[in-house]
């Protein structure tokens, strides 16, 4: 289903935690520039799969293939995860500064990344002065500042209200159209998965396996009114059905 | 109106208590060496004020010097220990033993080491020992209290050990270290006073010696006057450090 060469892949991976198996066997290939949503019941190992792709965790069994190198993979967590002692600019510049880029260049690119997520003018603000949605945008700017090839989002909007999350979903798609990173995101919101992804991977109750894969037709970013289209509703129905099947398994 | 009442409530209570105290002393004809009335204490406070202020400065300057030394030592040790978990394990039992041993029990020994000619050194050393622990444990806790997702982010971008320390652990520790200093300031005064008591000679001109000296002479009014200055000094120091903590936190959080 993925176009061209994979930039990251999980090949028959399994992860065991002390309390038991958490994931697998599970396989997933991510093509360059595609958007994949991982949906599944809580505890099915979605976030574990994401951490494997990020290289933040090693699998107990199987193989993780990562074509994207260090600095080419970015993660956005469920909470903004900003350093409270740094400004929005300082937070967005952090990946570049850790890579040893000169401060001036890092600041310039951080400001550009903040402008891209609609935060021009808020560069000097501290996280405590930002709303939840704005803090999430800073987190997104920090992820984009290295222009990653692979962007991993771990339930990025779960803590936000419905209006804010819909706005951010459109923002992420718009940014994707600019930079074309491959995006893998974890969610348990079926509508969000269908709206944002070109492919939805449904996982079964833990230890997670693939319970279904559904391609989502239609252009990305989504045109206005996509949420009310027949295609959208039919796809949501299909994914929900696969999810229900996965829960029963 | 409610604010005014709230503001004056403690003042009123103190006034009522002082009034009752004064009245009881006069009505029951309590001997002044046993319990001096507030009026006598006030008079002693005014009459002794130059000597009391000098003694207060002696005590508080030793306490502040100790606080500074403790701050440097505690933060340096906390940083070192953070870099090496083995070192932390090695140091931990020692710090616990030193912490749970009452400072008054160590004081005579420290006095001997400092030499009877240098009671000032013993005072600073003992105040340093008691002021050390709140700062040390605050710094160690703070250096560990890092958001685990931020830690993962540093992993993802391949941060070095030094970057982790200077850009993540140390800034995360700031609120804990500030809190530690606030607690340590009060303890430094306690340490200084305890050391003065143990040194207990005319060479040491601090507030504790004033209390002892007045006690030997059964001058209760002078004892109360020195106690009053000691209490006021502690309260002022605490308020100053609380203000410093609030300012520091505002800077840290950006508001």
Closest residue in chain A to residue B155, using alpha carbons only: A56
Indicate yes or no: CB of A81 within 8 angstroms of CB of B174. Answer: no
Q: How confident is the model at residue A1 (pLDDT cuts 50, 70, 90)?
A: very low
| pLDDT value of residue B95 | 87
Interaxial angle between packed helices B2-27 and B38-47, expressed in degrees from 0 to 180 and rounded to the nearest 10: 100
- Write out the residues of chain A at the interface with chain B, using a CB-CB cutoff of 8 A: 51, 54-56, 70-71, 73-75, 77, 79, 81, 83-87, 94-95, 97-99, 125-129
Residue A218 lies in a domain: yes
Domains defined along chain B, listed by start: 49-253 (1.10.3720.10)
Tally of structural domains, chain A: 2
Note whether A182 and A104 are same-domain residues.
Answer: no
% chain A with pLDDT above 90: 54
Both tokens assigned to A116: 């891209």
Average pLDDT on A50-61 reads 91
Residues of A in contact with B173 (CB under 8 A): none
- Closest CB to A129: pick one of B149, B150, B255: B255
Residue A1 lies in a domain: no
| pLDDT value of residue B120 | 86
Residue of higher predicted confidence among A34 and B254 = A34
Note whether A44 and A161 are same-domain residues.
Answer: yes
Q: What is the pLDDT of residues A116-147, one digit of tens each?
A: 999 999 999 999 999 989 999 999 999 999 99
Note whether A128 and A159 are same-domain residues.
Answer: no
| Cβ–Cβ < 8 Å for A64, A10 | yes
Closest residue in chain B to residue A85, using alpha carbons only: B252
Q: Which CATH number fits the domain that encloses residue A155? A: 3.40.50.300
Note whether A90 and A113 are same-domain residues.
Answer: yes
ipTM above 0.95, yes or no: no
- Distance in angstroms (rounded) separating the CA atoms of residues B27 and B41: 17
β-strand partners of A182 = A150
Instruction: From A26, A20, A12, A16, select the one nearest A202 (Cα to Cα).
Output: A26
| pLDDT value of residue B115 | 82
**Is residue A38 within a helix (H) or strand (E), and if so which, with residue range?**
strand A35-39
Of A147, A165, A196, the one marking the end of a domain is: A147
**Residue B11 to residues B18, B46, B51, B145, B231, Cα–Cα distance (Å):** 11, 21, 27, 41, 16
Q: How confident is the model at residue A159 (pLDDT cuts 50, 70, 90)?
A: confident
Of A147, A175, A191, the one marking the end of a domain is: A147
Note whether A110 and A63 are same-domain residues.
Answer: no
Indicate yes or no: CB of B255 within 8 angstroms of CB of A128. Answer: yes
Indicate yes or no: CB of B158 within 8 angstroms of CB of A84. Answer: no
Indicate the burial class of B12 (C-beta count within 10 angstroms; 0-12, 13-18, 19 or more): exposed
Residue A182 lies in a domain: yes
Q: How far off is chain B from A84, nearest CA to CA, in Å? A: 6
Residue A178 lies in a domain: yes
Residues of B in contact with A99 (CB under 8 A): 157-158
pLDDT at A2 over 50: no
Mutate to test the interface with B, among A54, A84, A138 (most CBs of B within 10 A): A84
Note whether A164 and A216 are same-domain residues.
Answer: yes
Report the half-sphere exposure of A239 (CA within 13 A, side-chain side). Answer: 30
- Closest CB to A98: pick one of B157, B252, B253: B157
Of A129, A147, A165, the one marking the end of a domain is: A147
Structural domain range at position A200 = 6-69+149-248
Sheet holding A182-187, edge to edge: A73-76, A150-154, A182-187, A35-39, A199-203, A210-215
Query: How confident is the prediction along chain B (255 residues), in pLDDT tens digits per residue?
Result: 778 888 888 899 999 999 999 999 999 998 988 999 999 999 999 999 999 999 999 999 999 999 999 999 999 999 999 888 899 889 989 888 888 888 888 888 888 888 878 888 889 999 999 999 999 999 999 998 899 999 999 999 989 988 999 899 999 999 999 999 999 999 999 999 988 888 766 666 889 888 988 989 999 999 999 999 999 998 899 899 999 999 999 888 876
Note whether A98 and A22 are same-domain residues.
Answer: no
Closest residue in chain A to residue B147, using alpha carbons only: A81
Note whether A132 and A154 are same-domain residues.
Answer: no
- Distance in angstroms (rounded) separating the CA atoms of residues A52 and A45: 10
pLDDT at A87 over 90: yes
Indicate yes or no: CB of A85 within 8 angstroms of CB of B156. Answer: no
Indicate yes or no: CB of B157 within 8 angstroms of CB of A85. Answer: no
- Write out the residues of chain B at the interface with chain A, using a CB-CB cutoff of 8 A: 147, 149-150, 152-159, 163, 167-168, 171, 174, 252-255
Note whether A244 and A156 are same-domain residues.
Answer: yes
| pLDDT value of residue A156 | 86
Note whether A11 and A51 are same-domain residues.
Answer: yes
Closest residue in chain A to residue B169, using alpha carbons only: A83
Closest residue in chain B to residue A71, using alpha carbons only: B157
Residue A59 lies in a domain: yes
Indicate yes or no: CB of A71 within 8 angstroms of CB of B149. Answer: no
Q: How confident is the model at residue A3 (pLDDT cuts 50, 70, 90)?
A: very low
Closest residue in chain B to residue A75, using alpha carbons only: B153
Residue A212 lies in a domain: yes
Residue A117 lies in a domain: yes
- Closest CB to B149: pick one of A77, A85, A98: A77
Note whether A18 and A122 are same-domain residues.
Answer: no
Residue A77 lies in a domain: no
Note whether A122 and A92 are same-domain residues.
Answer: yes
Sheet holding A6-17, edge to edge: A20-31, A6-17, A61-66
Q: What is the pLDDT of residues B13-72, one digit of tens each?
A: 999 999 999 999 999 998 988 999 999 999 999 999 999 999 999 999 999 999 999 999
Report chain A's mean pLDDT, rounded to a whole number.
89
Instruction: From B210, B216, B54, B58, select the one nearest B123 (Cα to Cα).
Output: B58
Instruction: From A195, A92, A196, A223, select the one nearest A147 (Cα to Cα).
Output: A92
């Amino acid at each position: 289903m993925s176009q061209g060469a994979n930039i990251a892949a999980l090949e028959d991976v399994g992860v065991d935690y002390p309390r038991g198996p958490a994931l697998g066997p599970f396989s997933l290939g991510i093509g360059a520039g595609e958007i994949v949503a991982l949906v599944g019941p809580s505890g099915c190992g979605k976030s574990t799969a994401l951490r494997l792709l990020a290289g933040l965790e090693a699998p107990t069994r199987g193989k993780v293939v990562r074509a994207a190198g260090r600095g080419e993979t970015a993660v956005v967590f469920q909470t903004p995860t900003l350093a409270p002692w740094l400004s929005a600019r300082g937070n967005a510049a952090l990946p570049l500064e850790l890579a040893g880029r000169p401060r001036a260049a890092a600041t310039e690119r951080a400001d550009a990344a903040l402008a891209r997520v609609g935060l021009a003018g808020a560069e000097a603000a501290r996280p405590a002065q930002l709303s939840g949605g704005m803090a999430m945008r800073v987190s997104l700017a920090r992820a984009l500042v290295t222009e990653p090839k692979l962007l991993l989002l771990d339930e990025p909007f779960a803590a936000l209200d419905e209006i804010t999350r819909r706005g951010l979903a459109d923002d992420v798609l718009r940014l994707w159209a600019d930079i074309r990173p491959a995006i893998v995101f974890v969610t348990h919101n079926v509508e969000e998965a269908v709206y944002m992804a070109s492919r939805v991977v449904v996982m079964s109750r833990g230890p997670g396996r693939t319970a279904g894969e559904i391609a989502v037709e239609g252009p990305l970013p989504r045109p206005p009114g996509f949420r009310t289209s027949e295609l959208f509703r039919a796809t949501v129905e299909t994914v929900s059905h696969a999810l229900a099947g996965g829960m029963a398994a | 109106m409610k604010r005014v009442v709230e503001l004056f409530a403690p003042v009123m209570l103190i006034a009522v208590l002082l009034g009752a105290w004064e009245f009881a002393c006069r009505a029951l004809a309590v001997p002044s060496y046993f319990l001096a009335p507030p009026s006598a204490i006030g008079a002693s406070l005014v009459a002794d004020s130059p000597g009391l202020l000098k003694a207060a400065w002696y005590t508080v300057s030793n306490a502040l010097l100790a606080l500074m030394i403790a701050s440097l030592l505690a933060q340096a040790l906390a940083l070192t220990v953070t870099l090496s978990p083995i070192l932390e394990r090695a140091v931990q039992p020692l710090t616990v033993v030193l912490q749970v041993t009452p400072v008054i029990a160590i004081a005579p020994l420290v006095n001997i080491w400092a030499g009877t000619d240098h009671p000032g050194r013993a005072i600073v050393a003992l105040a340093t020992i008691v002021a050390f622990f709140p700062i040390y444990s605050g710094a160690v806790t703070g250096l560990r209290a890092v958001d685990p997702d931020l830690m993962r982010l540093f992993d993802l971008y391949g941060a070095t050990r030094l970057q982790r320390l200077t850009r993540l652990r140390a800034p995360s520790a700031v609120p804990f270290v500030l809190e530690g200093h606030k607690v340590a300031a009060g303890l430094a005064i306690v340490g200084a006073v305890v050391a003065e008591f143990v040194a207990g000679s005319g060479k040491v001109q601090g507030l504790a010696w004033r209390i002892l000296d007045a006690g030997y002479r059964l001058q209760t009014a002078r004892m109360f006057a020195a106690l009053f200055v000691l209490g006021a000094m502690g309260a002022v120091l605490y308020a100053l450090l609380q203000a410093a903590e609030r300012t520091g936190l505002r800077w840290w959080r950006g508001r």
